[in-house]
Structure 1
């Protein structure tokens, strides 16, 4: 058994119990690291200056001193109880993959991930705001752009973003394993760790092409990834007409999904870089 498969077996045994074991850290931190490499030097300095004041957030158990720490801050604060409970619904927008794309129902009253990205952009741009508000907006923005590019945060089939879709992952099975956790953790880990590293400075042409579009267009695109790749690979193409059943991801299916998952991380990183340049440049 390869080193990766041994590690994966261990993760399935213990990792699914804790959100910090998989995409919640590795995926978000990679998106953030790509963004940090691809913003302008001036914006990189402004990010560092804001995060140097992260103690203003008054969340000592959830630090945000670096962009990597800030990328998981919005998940960490879930452990702080009711203080940040208002933000729980900001991490996703479950749009049914079996119906026409419609961003309005899940984003009613602004309680969805794409609406919060737009909100945090406005807050971050406003230099008249108290510094604490801008630091918090930065941490939320970094995290939510990552969330939007995890396709099970953008599309689902009335199953809590795939959390209710049990599936295998190659030869591995677990009662805790589901389609959401596969994309959050195991598939993301494999995609990101496959050489070459996605964390690098991209060409101007790549930055322009991969970061193009609006936040709503990104929402549709990520919903399409859920519809066209995440669900069919696990439960088949008849997912919208056949009765629900447990999924199965063969090794062959996983191989086809690795470049898709990798592209999602790169897109998220370069789009975050664009937004940070716009907000802080």
Structure 2
């Protein structure tokens, strides 16, 4: 009963959010960040906490960053601050066409895509000569963008703004403002994270190693493949490459149940890969 109410409230909240909805929302990003913090080395954890203690240096009083949950959504929060951070908008996604062979080059021109920015933020965090403010921004971007990359519709789409232009229904809930992107961001992510044992825990080396393996390009291809092979087809849009969707995409209860493990695995992967990135960036 409690979980059903949580899902309903999460779905209702989507109606109130500005479009486009941002990847995974606060709940998903915070969960990924918490998984990472539970799996980094003690040295890395101490360095992350020390850097977050310098949050006032960011001079974004309406966008907090002193706690990991707040830090994980800081890059979304600052997008409401206007021209000061408008240059970061294209860093949250990469429009790789699911109807063409996989390549990052067109989508990542001049480094303006999520995978290129993950690599950049790791380099900035490694540079101890940079002022704390710059390294804290890099930390926030790295935490957030690793989550973004693992949301399939931030890695693969077909001329529809990452599913934002595809009207969608989620079970019995089908408001006019819900779309395929917001379904994967919100109610499906919330369902996946809350179904089953908590994802926020320490993972053994044997369990974490295969989930955290691969390169940033490998993770990009993996999310792109999920978008191509699962996201669109599960919504009844298997012909998306030949025909522009004219009807509402529908995820019925049976489909949602099949997608929960897919989404749950992506959150696990993102958290453990972020832990690996942080350990690398902080030399731990």
- Runs of 5+ consecutive residues of structure 1 not aligned to the other structure: none
After superposing on structure 2, the runs of 4+ consecutive aligned residues of structure 1 that deviate more than 3 Å are 2-14, 19-22
Q: Report the equivalent of 1:91.
A: 92
Match runs of 1:23-38 below 5 Å? 23-38=24-39
For residue 255 of structure 1, the aligned residue among 254, 257, 268 is 257
Give the 3 Å change call, closer, same or farther, for CA 218–69 of structure 1 in structure 2.
same
- Give the 3-state SS of the residue equivalent to 1:155 in structure 2: coil
Match runs of 1:16-95 below 5 Å? 16-18=15-17, 23-95=24-96
Alpha-carbon distance, 1:5 to partner: 4.0
Alpha-carbon distance, 1:241 to partner: 2.2
Question: Does the 8 Å CA contact 1:34/1:270 hold for their aligned counterparts?
Answer: yes
- Give the 3-state SS of the residue equivalent to 2:250 in structure 1: strand
Question: Does the 8 Å CA contact 2:44/2:279 hold for their aligned counterparts?
Answer: yes
Residue by residue, what CA displacement relative to the aligned partner does 1:53-89 show, whole Å, maximum 9, x if unpaired? 1111111110100221110000000111110000000
RMSD: 1.6
Question: Does the 8 Å CA contact 1:166/1:179 hold for their aligned counterparts?
Answer: yes
Distance 1:237 1:52 in 2: 48
Alpha-carbon distance, 1:155 to partner: 0.6
Q: TM-score, length-normalised on structure 1?
A: 0.96
Residue by residue, what CA displacement relative to the aligned partner does 1:171-195 show, whole Å, maximum 9, x if unpaired? 1111100000001001000000112
Alpha-carbon distance, 1:125 to partner: 0.2
Distance 1:48 1:256 in 2: 37
Q: Report the equivalent of 1:211.
A: 212
